[in-house]
Structure 1
Amino acid sequence: MGVFTRLYDAVLRWARHRRAPWFLGALSFAESSFFPIPPDVMLAPMSVARPDRALHLAGLTTLTSVAGGLLGYLIGVVGLELVMPVIVDTGHAGAYEMARSWFVDWGFWVVLVAGFSPIPYKIFTIAAGAMAIAWLPFVLASLLGRGARFYLVASVLAWGGPRAEPWLRRYMERIGWLTVLALVVVVLAVSL
């Protein structure tokens, strides 16, 4: 059994825990402003384990993610000097500079796309605050982008439900390594 399969099995057990929605909300909030692990890793197995609650979980994930995004925005407004060394040390300086330049060109649309994409959303929330992007469009774009992403994940996996679980487990190693490869490609593309 590979590393991603073991991780998947552990997350699936956590997803069935009675306090799992609290963990999901906390993870979603933290990921939008400072934590590196996306909430999809909990939302997906929770949607498979409880397809009847998948849309509720997507809503929870969206709202807590946008709330965390507001914290990221606040960090950008008042504490950019404090977090910039962390951004540089974690190798996200290129992504941060790219986010700043994209805000100049596309504004609202950058937040919308960043909220939906696998690009680290926290970089965009901090950059939006640092550049004093208008608050209301930031929140609306975050709600739309994050909501579209999380409702899509939850809906697809709830549709598959428990019958998708064996398929996911069988291919988890491939999915995990392809995800790592995709992240490496994105990081390399951003840094070049």
Structure 2
Amino acid sequence: MVQQVSDFFEDFGFIGMFIHSFIDAIIFPIPAFFTQVSLSLINPQSAILLATVGYIACLLGTPIGYLIGHKLGEPILHKFLKKKWIDKATDSIHRNGEAAILIGAFTPIPFKVFTILSGCFHFSIWKLIGYAAIGRAFKFYIVGISFYLFGQASEEFITNYLTYIMGGIAIILLGLFYIKRKFGKGKKQSVEKQKKGNRKIVWKEG
């Protein structure tokens, strides 16, 4: 099925890349990654332009996925996507929405899960678009640049190792968000203690 979908969009070239990436951000279950790789294999010299087309289309589709989640809610996800993807994304957004969106933008979990769930949970649409812009740029352009520089030799790297690299980056980002969170809590507690101490001093002086 994945191959058939890629072959279909591949026939339309850049337009096919745009359409696939656009609907990928909304509800389509098969990622635009496969069409990007297929088209990049055909003409590696156009791989960066192809990545740009896919990237722009994805950003245009992101707010539409958000609105679908906002209006129709979670049931539509269960109709089109795997439960394990939905459960992972839901847990991530509940724990730390910002980190979940950024990491989800370039991990193997389909991004439409995050766009729709962001709408379901009323996550900021501007933050969603901002983090999508960062994460999706990484995902599209690492493929585009690899094919542009190394041609068809990049296929094995992209198909076999890219997922592991992105997974490693996701772990690093999670660690950074965790440190930031702990530091923020510690700073907040320190400020609150200082305020309490100041109130006690004022009360004694009074």
Using the size of structure 2 for normalisation, the TM-score is 0.66
User: 1:47·1:53 contact (CA, 8 Å) conserved in 2?
Assistant: yes
Query: How has the CA–CA distance of structure 1 residues 48 and 159 changed in structure 2, closer, same or farther, with 3 Å as cutoff?
Result: farther
Counterpart for residue 183 of structure 1: none
Structure 1 unaligned residues grouped into runs of 5+: 180-192
Provide the rounded CA distance (Å) in 1 between the counterparts of 2:129 and 2:81: 26
Name 1:60's counterpart in structure 2: 53
| Alignment partner, residue 69 of structure 2 | 76
Instruction: Show CA shifts across 1:82-116 (max 9, x none).
Output: x60x4334463443243233223222221111110
Tell me the residue number matched to 1:125: 115
Q: 8 Å contact 2:24–2:112 — kept in the other structure?
A: yes
Amino acid at match of 1:30: I
For the pair shown, the structure with the greater C-alpha radius of gyration is 2
Q: Is the 8 A contact 1:100 1:131 kept in 2?
A: no
Q: Secondary structure at the match of 2:105?
A: helix
Q: 1:91 to 1:73 in 2, by over 3 A?
A: closer
**1:171-186 to 2 correspondences below 5 Å:** none
Closer, same or farther in 2 for the Cα pair 1:37/1:153, shift >3 Å? same
| TM-superposed deviation, 1:128 | 0.4
Residues matched between the structures, number:
159
Q: What amino acid does structure 2 have at the position aligned with 1:113?
A: I
Distance 1:135 1:88, change over 3 A: closer
Aligned equivalents of 1:131, 1:78: Cα separation in 2: 11
Instruction: Check whether the contact 1:48–1:160 (CA below 8 A) recurs between aligned residues.
Output: no
Distance 2:28 2:78 in 1: 15
TM-score (norm 1): 0.71
Q: Which has the higher contact order (CA 8 A, sep 6+)?
A: 1
Percent of aligned positions that are identical: 23
Correspondence for 1:23: 16
Q: Using the TM superposition, name which of 91-100 and 147-156 deviates more.
A: 91-100
Amino acid at match of 1:74: L
2: distance between equivalents of 1:40 and 1:88? 22
How far residue 135 of structure 1 moved from its aligned partner, in angstroms, is 1.5
Paired residue secondary structure (1:116): coil
1:154 matches 2:144: yes
For residues 122-177 of structure 1, give each alpha carbon's deviation from its aligned partner in whole angstroms, at most 9, with x where no partner exists.
Answer: 11110001111112111011011111001001111222214x38x76xx9xxx69x
The residue type paired with residue 47 of structure 1 is S
1:103 aligns with 2:103: no
Q: Unmatched 5+ residue regions in structure 2?
A: 164-206
Question: Could you say if the C-alpha distance between residues 138 and 89 of structure 1 is closer, same or farther in structure 2, counting changes exceeding 3 Å?
Answer: closer
8 A contact 1:49–1:161 mirrored in 2: no
